[in-house]
Amino acid sequence: MNDFYLAVSAFLLVNILVGLVRILRGPTPPDRMLMAQMFGTTGVGILLLLSEAMGLPVLRDVALLFALLGALATVSFVRRYWPVEFAEEESKE
């Protein structure tokens, strides 16, 4: 059973590796950021599987923290690194 969980978490890891293509190719910065958000969700899944497979309940707490920090990363990216000129937007309307 534990091998099964390990296999699934390896599959998710491969998933992340495939997703790297979008980071390399992504035409705009938000595309790359989206992939980072996806890593967060996949990372939570992997940690949950590992905690079951290895019998380490502590990893569930790490997963909880990952879920929280994923949101913070996106918020800070949108607010700090992708500012939108609101003034220009208003003059256009």
Partner 1 sequence: MMFEEWISSALVCAGAFFYLAGTLGMLRFPDIYTRLHAVTKADNLGLGLLAAGLMLRAESWPAMIKLALIWMLALVTSATACYLVANNALRAGLPPVLGRYRSGSRP
Binding residues for partner 1, how many (CB under 8 A)?
Answer: 41
Give the shortest CB-8-to-partner 1 separation in angstroms: 5
Q: Does 60 bind partner 1 (CB under 8 A)?
A: yes
Q: Which of 71, 49, 73 is nearest to 60 (CA)?
A: 49
Least spacing, CB of residue 64 vs partner 1, in Å:
5
Euclidean distance between CA atoms 24 and 33, whole angstroms:
12
CA distance 35 to 73: 12
Amino acid at 72: L
Among 28, 87, 91, 93, binds partner 1 (CB under 8 A): 28
The SS3 call for residue 56 is coil
Min dist. Cβ of residue 30 to partner 1 (A) = 6
**Identity (one letter) of the amino acid at 6?**
L
Choose which of 3, 24, 80, 86 interacts with partner 1 (CB under 8 A). Answer: 86
Q: Which of 3, 80, 87, 89 binds partner 1 (CB under 8 A)?
A: 89
